[in-house]
Amino acid sequence: MLNLFLIYTSLFMCTRVADGLEYDDLRLVDGSHSREGRLEIYHSGVWGSVCDDNFGYPDASVACRQLGFRCLSEIQIYTQGGSAPIIWMDDVACNGLETSLKKCLHKGWASHNCVSHENVGIRCFGGCEGDLWLVGGSDNGRLNIYHSGSWGTICNDHFGSIDALVVCKQLKMRTTNVQFYTAANGHGTIWLDEFACNGQENRLDYCNHNGWSVHNCGHNKDVGVRCYGSYSSLEGDLRLVRGNNPEEGRLEIFHNFQWGTICDDGFGTTDAVVVCRQLGYRTSTPTVYTAGGGTVRTWLHNVTCIGTERRIADCSHLGWGSNYCLHLEDVGVRCTGEYGVNGNWGYWSAWSDCNSSCGSGTQTRTRRCDTPLPAFGGSLCTGDSHDSQTCIGSSCQINGNWGSWSDWTICSSSCDSGYQTRSRLCNNPVPSSNGAYCNGKTFEVLNCSIATCTVNGNWGSWSGWTVCSSSCDSGYQTRSRLCNDPVPSLNGAYCTGKSFEVLNCSIATCTVNGNWGSWSDWTICSSSCDSGHQTRSRLCNNPVPSSNGGYFKGNWGSWSDWTICSSSCDSGHQTRSRLCNDPVPTSNGTYCNGKSFEVLNCSVARCTVDGSWGGWGQWSECNATCDGGVQKRTRICNNPYPSAGGSACSGMAEQILICADINCPIIGAWSEWGVWSSCSTSCGSGNRTRSRLCDNPPPSYGGEYCNGNILDSDTCNTHECPSMYIVFIK
C-alpha cells in the first residue's frame, strides 16, 4: 500500500520525508535559507525549473502558498542561476487565487524559449504567531520563534532534549535523535527563556516558560537545535502484535512518537474493517477478539467508526490517553477472508500537446482503472478512459487586453475630503506567448467630497468657583463654562447640559444685633393716695443679640473686570460678575437686588480663512496618439477660498501625465534606384535590370511596406547584329 506524504514546517521549513511525491509538488533549491531559492516543480517523475518570463507577484504568491508558507508579509522575485534537468513552465499567468501553480495559465509543459540562467527564484517572507525557524539549514540551526510581528531567538537556560524534541515535532521532522547547542550571535529580540516541556506538546509555545521577553540572557546564549534520524512510523500508523500470522494480533497505534494499545470497549466489526483497510488487507469479515497482554500505554477507548474512514484515528473516540481499561481488555483484530474489489479510476494523465501549433485544436488525456484494479469478481470502472478538450496552440501570440473597471469604492470619508478607487485586470485576454501586456493603469484614485462635515459643540473647561456670596451663614458660589471647545458650526448641535452652576456655602455664623421687645404693662401705683409711681420694662430679645452681630442690608460689591473675548476673531462674548458683600446682608437684612452676572457680545476682528484645494478635475484627452503626449488635470483653491488674509493653497494647481508612450508607425519609403546591370546581349535587343530597397526609411512599429516594385527592367542593345557568312572552299 503506497502512502504519499508531504510534510511542511510551520512557515519556513519544507522538509520532505515521505516515500514519494505528489504530482506537481514544488520546492525551493540553492537558496541561502529554506524560504528562498530556485523554484522547481515535480512533473512526470522529474523535477524541473520555471522560466522567469512574465513571472510576477500573483504567480509568486500562489507558489509561496502552495509551499505552505502562511501569514506572508513580503514576497520577492529574482532570477536564479543553476541548472535543472528540464524547464517545465514558461509565461506563467496566475490570477492569485489558484491553490497550486499547475492551475495557472502557461505555455504548456516543457514549452518555453528560455535558457537555464532565466530560472525564476522567489523569497517568501513573514510568519505566524509561534512559528519556528532553524536559521542556517533545513534541519539544523539557531532556533528562532515568531512573536508580535518579528522573529527572535530563545535562550539556552535549562533547554533540554525534551524541549528539542517538541521543536522537531512542531517542524514536522520525524526524528529519532536531537541535539541542542549554543548558537551565539543571533539578532532581534530574545523572546523566551527557562523552558519546561513535558514532551506531549505539539508546539513549543505551549510549554511552560518565563513569559515573552522575560529573560536574563544575551545573544551569546542563543540556543540551536539539530533534528536527525527518522522514525519508521508516522502519526496514526497501526500494527498487529503477537499474532499467529501477519494478518492477526493485538492492535497497536502510533501516537506522539509512541506505540500504544486500543481498548476493546465498543470495538466492533465496522471498526475492524477500517483497521484492516488501513493495514492493506481486503476483507469484509474481520474478526474482533480480546488479545490482552499489552505493556505500553493505552491510547484509545470507545472507538466508533462509520466504515468510510481511511484511518482508525479519523474515527470517533474519547480522546488520546482517555481510557478506563486494563491491558486485559486490549483489542485484537484478525484480517482474513477476501472479498470482491471494485475497480477505481486512477489520476488523469497530463493533457497531451495541442494538435494545433496556433489557433483552435484538440488535446487528450487518459486514465487507468488501477486504483485499485478490479479483483475477486469486483466490477470494472464506469466512465470513459479518454477525455479531450479544445485548446489553443501555444505558439500563438496573444496580446493582453484590459478587463472592465471595477465599480468605484465608497468614498473613504462621509464628509470633507476623501477618495475612491477602482481597478482592472489585464485578463481579457491574459497575454501569453510573448504577447504584449496591457498598456495603461491598473489602478485609479478619485478625490471625493460628499458634504462639509458638521461640527458639534463641546463644553470648554469650567471656570473657578466665585467667592462665597456671604461672609457668614448661608451664601452661594457660582461657576460657568462656554460651548467653545469647539464652537458648533455648519448646523452642528449645541452643547447639552448647564452653562452655569450654583453651590451653597457658609463661612461662619452671622452676628445678630439685639432689638427691644414690647414694653410690659404699667405696674399698680405705689401709693393709693398722694404721689406714687408706676413702672414698666422691656427685654432686648427681639432678637437677643448674639455673635456680636448687628442688622445690615446687603449691598453689591464692585463689578469684576470683563473677561477676555471668548473668540479671537468673528463673534464671541465677555462676562463679568459681582458679589452681594458690601456688606453681606445679616440679621435678616435683605439680599442685594439685581444681577450678579452679565454677558457682553464682542468681536475683535474677522477670522482669517486659509485656502484649501478642491478635488482634481478629470484628465484631459491625450494630445497625441503616439511618440509621447501629455494629459492634464487641474484643481481650484476653493474648498474654501482664502479670505481675511488667509494663506493661499500650497502645491500644484495642475498635474501633467505622460501618455501615448509608444512609437508611431513609420511607413517605408524607397531608396534611389541602383545602377543598371549589364545588357543580356551585345546586339539584337537584350534586357537589363536595376533594383532599389525599402529602407529610406525602412517600415517599423507596424508601418506599411513601400508601394511599388523592387526591380525594374529595360531593353538594351536593340541594334541588329552584323551578318555572318560562311565561305566553303573546295
Domain co-membership, 79 together with 160: no
pLDDT of residue 371: 63
3-state SS assignment for residue 599 = strand
Same domain, 719 and 638: no
Residue 381 maps to a domain: no
Residue 359 in any domain: the answer is: no
**Per-residue model confidence (pLDDT) at position 377:** 44
3-state secondary structure of 619: coil
Same domain flag for 648 and 673: no
- Spatial separation of the C-alpha atoms in residues 212 and 191, rounded to whole Å: 5
Q: Are 121 and 31 contained in the same domain? A: yes
The answer to whether residues 198 and 213 belong to one domain is yes
Asked if residue 641 belongs to a domain, the reply is: yes
CB-based contact 489:455 (threshold 8 Å): yes
Work out the burial of residue 170: count CB atoms within 10 Å of its CB; fewer than 13 is exposed, 13-18 middle, 19 or more buried.
buried
Per DSSP bridges, beta strands 26-29 and 36-43 are antiparallel
The answer to whether residue 79 is domain-embedded is: yes
Total number of domains in the chain? 5
In sequence order, the β-bridge partners of residue 140 are: 226
Same domain, 122 and 136: no
Domain end: 167, 202, 228, which one?
Answer: 228
**Residue 178 β-bridge partners:** 227
Cis peptide before 699 (omega within 30 of 0): no
Asked if 36 and 86 sit in the same domain, the reply is yes
Name the residue range of residue 304's domain. Answer: 238-334
- The reply to whether 653 and 629 lie within a common domain is yes
The per-residue DSSP string of 634-672 comes to E--S-TT--BTTPPPPPS-SEEEEEE--SPPPB------
Q: Which residues of the chain have pLDDT under 50?
A: 1-23, 339, 375-377, 725-730
Residue 450 lies in a domain: no
Q: Residue written as cell 536559521?
A: 135
pLDDT at 11: 29
Residues in Cβ contact with 151 at an 8 Å cutoff, skipping those fewer than 6 apart:
127, 133, 144, 145, 188
What span, in angstroms and rounded, lies between the C-alpha atoms of 506 and 470?
7
What integer pLDDT is reported at residue 109 of this predicted model? 92
Same domain, 647 and 678: no
Final residue belonging to a domain, choices 282, 300, 334: 334
Q: Are residues 154 and 114 part of one domain?
A: no
CATH classification of the domain holding 695: 2.20.100.10
Residue 387 lies in a domain: no
User: 604 in a domain, yes or no?
Assistant: yes
* 601, 635, 659 - which closes a domain: 659
- pLDDT value of position 370: 61
Predicted TM-score of the model (pTM): 0.30
pLDDT for position 395: 66
Cα–Cα distance between 730 and 725 in angstroms, integer?
16
Question: Residue type for 261, please?
Answer: T
Report the CATH number that the domain containing residue 115 is assigned in CATH.
3.10.250.10
Residues 96 and 73 in one domain: yes
Shared domain check, 618 and 640: yes
Q: Is residue 114, in this structure, part of any structural domain at all?
A: yes
